[in-house]
Amino acid sequence: MKHEKWQDAAKERQPLTGGKRATKLWMLGGSALDGAEAEGGAAALFHADSRRLSAGSGRGQEEILGIADAPDTCALQEAGAVLAAGGTVAFPTETVYGLGADARSTAAVEQIFAAKGRPSDNPLIVHIADPAQLQELVTGVNDTERRLMAQFWPGPLTLVLPVKPGAVSPRVTAGLDTVAVRMPDHPAALALIRASGCPLAAPSANRSGRPSPTLAAHVLEDLSGAIDGVLDGGPAGVGVESTVVQAAPDGAVTVLRPGGITEEQLAGIAASVRRDPALAHAGGTDSPAPRSPGMKYTHYAPQGALCVVTGRTAAAVSARIQAELDAARTRGEKTGVLSFDEHIGFYRADVAVSLGSLAAPEEAARRLYAGLRQFDEAGAAFLLAETCPEEGLGAAVMNRLLKAAGHHIIDADA
76 & 211 share domain: yes
Residue 241, domain member (yes or no): no
In a domain, 268, yes or no: no
Q: Print the domain residue range for 323.
A: 305-411
What pLDDT is stored for residue 293 in this prediction?
66
> Can you tell me whether residue 339 is helix, strand or coil?
strand
End of a domain among 179, 207, 232?
232
Give the strand order in the sheet containing 243-247. 64-67, 23-27, 229-232, 89-91, 98-102, 200-201, 125-127, 178-182, 157-162, 243-247, 252-257, 272-275
Does residue 273 sit within a domain? no
pLDDT at 46 (0 to 100): 26
Residues 80 and 183 in one domain: yes
Amino acid at the residue 405: A
Task: Check pLDDT > 80 for residue 19.
Answer: no
Lowest mean pLDDT among 26-30, 54-58, 114-118, 365-369: 54-58
More confident residue, 46 or 2: 2
Distance from C-alpha of 322 to C-alpha of 349, rounded to nearest angstrom: 8
Residues 210 and 313 in one domain: no
Using the 3D structure, point to which of 176, 204, 232 is the last residue of a domain. 232
pLDDT tens for 192-223 read 999 999 999 999 999 998 999 999 999 999 99
Tell me the C-alpha distance between 125 and 283, whole Å: 20
Is residue 276 a part of any domain in this protein? no
Residue 298 counted as domain residue? no
Q: What is the CATH number of the domain that holds 319?
A: 3.40.50.11030
CATH code for the domain of 100: 3.90.870.10
Q: Which residues are annotated as a binding site?
A: 95, 118, 122, 127, 178, 182, 202, 204, 212, 242, 257, 300
The three-class DSSP label of residue 95 is coil
Q: Is the pLDDT higher at 391 or at 69? A: 391
Q: How many domains does the chain have?
A: 2
The answer to whether residue 296 is domain-embedded is: no
Residues 139, 58 share a domain: yes
Cα atoms found within 13 Å of the Cα of residue 100, Cβ hemisphere only: 34
CA distance 327 to 358: 27
- Do residue 315 and residue 208 come from a single domain? no
Instruction: Note whether 69 and 186 are same-domain residues.
Output: yes
Q: How many CB atoms lie within 10 A of CB 369?
A: 27
Residue 176's pLDDT is what?
96
If asked whether residues 111 and 193 sit together in one domain, one would say: yes
For residue 388, pLDDT beyond 90: yes
Q: Residue 11: pLDDT band by 50, 70, 90 thresholds?
A: very low
The per-residue pLDDT for range 54-105, each reduced to its tens digit, is 333 333 333 333 334 445 889 999 999 999 999 999 999 999 999 999 999 9
Last residue of a domain, one of 200, 232, 264: 232
In-domain check, residue 368: yes
Whether residue 77 sits in one domain with residue 225: yes
The pLDDT assigned to 299 comes to: 73
Mark whether 169 and 310 lie in a shared domain.
Answer: no
Residues 164 and 35 in one domain: yes
| Known binding-site positions for ATP | 118, 178, 204, 212, 257, 300
Residue 145 lies in a domain: yes
Same domain (yes/no): 188, 323: no
Q: Specify binding-site residues for L-threonine.
A: 95, 122, 127, 182, 202, 242
Looking at the fold, whether 59 and 156 belong to one and the same domain comes out as: yes
